[in-house]
Amino acid sequence: MQERFDAGLLDVVRRAKFKMVCVVINKQEHLNRYRSPFHPYHYCLAAMLDRYGGWLNYKNAVGDVMAESRGKEEDLQLKEAYRRVYRSGTLMFGHEHHQRALTSQDIKIQPKVANIAGLQLADVLAHPVKQALLVEKGWIPESGDVFGKRVYEAAQRKFNLNEFRGQVEGYGKVFL
């Protein structure tokens, strides 16, 4: 039963049509580096929105952004961080970049119980992808033969990349 479930899950990851950006931040280094650092999660959001907006603009498309609810106060902070990027841009891109790509100045936030397929898939991928990238960078040791490695392998072709150079780092894999 477990093997059939695992095989089915890996098949869903392989067949699903999506692009993925994974942003990993060393929170301690981030806090030490800047006198008035951005909230680490909001800094990661801005990095993700830069790449997502870049991909959408490259494809001459528009898209939405949805996150899973984390609590009332955290949701309010996330909404404000998103609006700030939408209205003012980031250090990397001006607001035009984001407004051309994003359909709304408001992020959509849904609770886990809403069972949104994209959020569920993101949940499945988040930990295995992050772990694989930390291993790749030599920041943590190899974890042995775990199912997460198979999930990562199934999703590896989904990373956003610079289509001219085939470069994934900086586009689909971002280290802050």
The per-residue pLDDT for range 27-48, each reduced to its tens digit, is: 888 888 888 778 889 999 999 9
Could you tell me the residue range of the domain that residue 123 belongs to?
2-175
The per-residue pLDDT for range 139-155, each reduced to its tens digit, is: 999 988 899 999 999 99
When the pLDDT of each residue in the chain is averaged and rounded to a whole number, the result is 95
Task: Report the first-to-last Cα separation within the chain, whole angstroms.
Answer: 40
The per-residue pLDDT for range 99-122, each reduced to its tens digit, is: 999 999 999 999 999 999 999 999
Torsion of CA 81, 83, 86, 89, to 10 degrees: -40
Would you say 173 and 19 are in contact if contact means Cβ atoms under 8 Å apart? Answer: no
Q: How many domains does the chain have?
A: 1
Joined together, the tokens standing for residue 14 give 């392989």
Note the pTM of the prediction, 2 decimals: 0.91
